[in-house]
Chains A and B, each alone.
Chain A
Amino acid sequence: MTVVFERTTGLTEVETHYCPGCTHGIIHRLVAEVLVELDILDDTIGVCPVGCSVLAYKYFNCDMQQAAHGRAPAVATGAKRVHPDKFVFTYQGDGDLASIGTAEIVHAAHRGEKISTIFVNNAIYGMTGGQMAPTTLIGQKATTAPYGRDEETMGMPLRMSEMLATIDGAKFVERVSVDTPANIRKAKRAIKKCFQVQLEGKGFGIVEVLSTCPTNWGLTPVESLKWLKENMIPYYPLGNFKSPEEVE
C-alpha cells in the first residue's frame, strides 16, 4: 500500500481546537509542510498571536513564542536579531495584525526585518466571538456591527497586502486563499517563496491567506467557502503584489 497522505512532521500530535470547517487548520498544515520541505523545522522559531491561533505553539513542531495581541512582529524581531541564522515566522489573525498590531507589522516591514508573516484574514474576530475586524466587509454583520459594516461610520475594509507592498523593506507580498484545492496549492507555493525570501536574507515577507470562520459567519463549512469566494476574493484580489526576481 502506498501512503498518499501523511501527517506532516512539522505539526505535533496534539489535536487542534479549531472549529469544524475552519481553514486555520489547512493553513497550519501548509506552513508545517513548507518548513519540512525546506528542511528548516529544526532551525525555526515561530511566533503565534492572540486570536484563534493563540495555541499554535502547541501545534507547530518547532520552538515557539506566544506574543501579546498584535506584537508578534516585534517579538519575532527580537528573536531574529538574536539568532540571525534561524528562520523566524509569525502567524497572525486580522484583528491581531490589521488592528491592534498595525504599528508592529508596518515597522517590521519598514525595517526590512528578515522574518516571514502568515496573515490569516477571516474578516472577523474569531476568538472573541465575531466582533468586527478592520477587514470585515461592507454590509457584513458582526456582533459589534449588528446592522452590518457601513463605510460612513466604520470605514472601508483595510487591504493590508496592498498597503504593505508600498513599503520598501517588504520584499515579498502575496494574497492567497484556501477555498479550493487549486488555491490551496497556490497558497503553499506562495508560502514557500515567502520563506525563501527570508532564507536568502532579502527582507520581510508576508502571505495574506483568506480564511473562513464558519462559526462566527453563521454558515456551514461549505457555505463559508462559497461566501469567501463570492465576497472576499472580489474585494481582496488574489495574487502577488511584490516579489524579488530571483524567487519568481
Chain B
Amino acid sequence: MEKVLMKGNEAVCAAAIAAGCKYFFGYPITPQNEIPEYMARELPKVGGTFIQAESEVAAINMVYGAAGAGARVMTSSSSPGVALKQEGISYCAGAELPAVIVNMMRGGPGLGSIQPSQTDYFQATRGGGNGDYKTLVLAPADVQELVDLTIEGFDKADYYRNPVMILGDGFIGQMMEPVVFKDRSDVELPEKPWATSGTKGERKPNIINSLYLGAEELEEHNIHLQAKYAEMAKNEVKVESFGLEDAELVIAAYGTTSRICKTAISKLEKEGYKVGLIRPISLWPYPFNEFEKINDDCKGVLTVEMNTGQMTDDVQIALNGRMPSYFYGRTGGMAPTPEEIVNKVKEILGGDR
C-alpha cells in the first residue's frame, strides 16, 4: 500500500472508515473540526450517515443508539466537549456498547484554550463519568500510530463490547505525516446477535440497558464488568520502552510529548547521560509492569506531560516507592522543549558533566 500525506484529524477519519465505521455523530469544537468536516464529506460516499448533533451530550447518546443498533460508530471532540460526553460514555460502558471516542485534547480547565494539551489524562483513565467502569485508552504519538490504533480500537471495542478512547493531544490532530493503510478487504466485521434491529419474529427481544434495580443484580453486573476489565488489563497493555537496563534516569511520557522527550534523550546521550524511556501507548490499561524492568541503580523516573502532573499518579503506583518520581510539565498550550527536559534531567542527576 502506498504512503499518503495526511493531517492527523483526517487520518483518524480515514482509519475509522477503513475499519468499517459508517456512522459519526459530533459537534464542532477546535482543534478537531476537520474530523466532523471530513466525516460530513466522506461518509455519504460509503453509504454512511453523519449528523451534526445539537450538543456533545446528544452526539454521544446518538452513538449509544447506533451502537445499540449494531453499527460501528464514532464520535470526536476536544476536552470541554468530551466532558459533556461523560454521561453517554458511562452509559455505553454500563450497557456494554462498543464505540470509538476521539479526544483531541486542548488546554483547560473551563474553556481553557484551543492549544494542545494532555490535561484529560485523569478524565480518560479514571472514568470521567459515574460508576466503576473503564474504557480502553489509546494515546498515539504519530499519525501512523493514530491510524493503526483507531482501526484496532474498533476491533477491540467490538471484541470487548466496550467504549475505546483515542486520546490525542491537539498536536497530533494538526500534524501532517505520511501514513499507510493496511489492506483490510478480507476482514469481516463481527456478528452482533445482541443488537436491537427488530426481532423479525425470529428471536426474543434484545434489550440495551444499564439499569439493574436490585442491589444483588447490579453487583453481579459489576463483577461481570470487572472480569472483563481484568481481561483487558491482561491482554491490551501497549508500551514502547528502551534503555531501562542501564539508565541513570528514565523518562515516562506519552503522545507528542514522548517525541520531544526522545529528542532530549539523544541530546543527553551525546553528553554522556544514559536516559531510558517508557512510552505508554495504552494509558488504560497502564503498563505498570514495564517499570519493573528499570535497573535498581536508576536515580528515578521523570514524568513529562503537557499538564501539571497527572500520569505521575500511575508512575508512582508502578514504582511503589522503589525510586523517586519527578515531574516536568508545561501547560496552557505550551509544549516542553527538548532543552527544558535536558536541563531538568541534569538538575535531577546533579549538574553538567
Contact = CB atoms under 8 A, between A and B. Distances in A.
Interface of A: 12, 41-45, 47, 54-55, 57-58, 60-68, 71, 74-83, 86, 103-104, 106-107, 111
Nearest 7 pairs between A and B by C-beta? Answer: A78-B65, A78-B66, A75-B65, A74-B61, A63-B196, A71-B61, A107-B54
Nearest to B210: A66
Contacts of B210: 66
Contacts of A12: 205
A66 B198 contact: no
16 contacts: A42-B199, A43-B198, A45-B197, A57-B209, A58-B207, A64-B205, A65-B68, A65-B207, A68-B61, A75-B62, A76-B65, A78-B66, A81-B62, A82-B71, A104-B61, A107-B53
B51 A42 contact: no
B66 A81 contact: yes
Contacts of B25: 78
Q: Chain A binding site: helix, strand, loop or mixed by DSSP?
A: helix
Which residue, of B66, B95, B198, B211, has the highest number of chain A Cβ atoms within 10 A? B198
Contact of A63 (B51, B58, B197): B197
A62 B205 contact: yes
Contact of B58 (A55, A60, A64, A103): A103
Nearest to A100: B57
Contacts of B207: 57-58, 63-66
A107 B66 contact: no
Contacts of A104: 54, 57-58, 61
A79 B68 contact: yes
A64 B65 contact: no
Contacts of A60: 205
B23 A63 contact: no
Nearest to A62: B205
A35 B58 CA distance: 27
Interface string B181-200: 00000000000000011111
Given A64-B207, A78-B73, 14 more contacts: A42-B199, A45-B69, A54-B211, A60-B205, A63-B205, A66-B95, A71-B57, A78-B63, A78-B69, A79-B68, A81-B51, A86-B197, A104-B57, A107-B58
A83 B197 contact: yes
Contacts of A55: 211, 213
A108 to B, nearest CB: 9
Contact of B23 (A44, A47, A66, A81): A81
A54 B209 CA distance: 10
B196 A79 contact: yes
Nearest to B198: A43
A237 to B, nearest CB: 29
Nearest to A40: B198
Contacts of A111: 51
Contacts of B321: none
B55 interface: yes
Contact of A82 (B23, B53, B55, B57): B23
B320 interface: no
Nearest to A69: B87
A232 B338 CA distance: 70
Nearest to A74: B61
Contacts of A76: 65
B205 A67 contact: no
A23 to B, nearest CB: 22
A68 B91 contact: yes
A53 B197 CA distance: 22
A62 B196 CA distance: 9
Nearest to B68: A65
B62 A77 contact: yes
A55 B211 CA distance: 9
B88 interface: yes
Contacts of A78: 23, 25, 61-69, 73
Contact of B64 (A54, A57, A63, A75): A75
A66 B51 contact: no
Nearest to A66: B209
B95 A74 contact: no
Contacts of A80: 65
Which residue, of B25, B55, B199, has the highest number of chain A Cβ atoms within 10 A? B199
Contacts of A83: 69, 197-198
